[in-house]
Amino acid sequence: MGALSGPLHGGAPSRALDTLDAIGTPDRIDSWIRERVLAGDRIMGFGHPVYRTEDPRSRMLREIAQGFGGPRAEFAVEVERRVEAILAELKPGRELHTNVEFYAGVVMELCGLPREMFTPTFAAARVVGWSANILEQAQDSKIIRPVARYVGPGAPVTVPTAVTAA
């Protein structure tokens, strides 16, 4: 649950909507996105730590958003199209596509949920899976030992001091 806190994971759907609001109109998409990417900012709702292709959940949620129809859904589709093209140009080889958060925000808004309820709703939907994990864990009650692999610099090597004979 703690991993859902913060702007880059659980907070992403509402921030993706903030992005749509900040862009405002289709003629501003390119300049707004370019400026942010060139300044080193991340565009909310794009990129994924694992998927290097379109997040399949994003495709399903886009269809649901388009099923609702209306200017918000149409604008989101246009922003997605332009952001993907701009990221492909400015960040070649990174394969940045929409993640589940982009259209999740659009769909939750179209369902009438207030933005501050997005993360709790997302969390509530996962409670079933989390509970299943707890039940599985309880059946085989072993201590979980996450694997940790050190990837930092090696230990410093002491350089022997030269001793010159008198």
Residues that bind ligand COA (CB under 6 A): 8-9, 12, 37, 42-49, 87, 91, 94, 96, 99, 101
Q: Decide whether 6 or 69 has the Cβ nearer to ligand COA.
A: 6
Question: How far apart (Å, rounded) are the C-alpha atoms in residues 130 and 93?
Answer: 35
- Catalytic residue status for 101: yes
Smallest distance from the beta carbon of 129 to ligand COA, in angstroms? 16
Question: How far apart (Å, rounded) are the C-alpha atoms in residues 159 and 86?
Answer: 50
Element (H, E) at 120: helix 118-139
Smallest distance from the beta carbon of 49 to ligand COA, in angstroms? 4
Q: CB of 83 within 8 A of CB of 41?
A: no
Q: Decide whether 116 or 136 has the Cβ nearer to ligand COA.
A: 116
Smallest distance from the beta carbon of 24 to ligand COA, in angstroms? 19
Q: Return the ∠ at Cα 102 (arms to 97 and 104), rounded to 5°.
A: 135
Angle between helices 71-90 and 56-68 (to 10 degrees): 150
Q: Decide whether 48 or 115 has the Cβ nearer to ligand COA.
A: 48
Smallest distance from the beta carbon of 41 to ligand COA, in angstroms? 7
Question: How far apart (Å, rounded) are the C-alpha atoms in residues 138 and 1?
Answer: 19
Question: How far apart (Å, rounded) are the C-alpha atoms in residues 102 and 76?
Answer: 8
Q: Decide whether 44 or 76 has the Cβ nearer to ligand COA.
A: 44
Q: No. of H helices and E strands in the chain?
A: 6, 0
- Which of 80, 97, 101, 109 does the annotation list as catalytic? 101
Give the catalytic positions in this structure: 48, 101
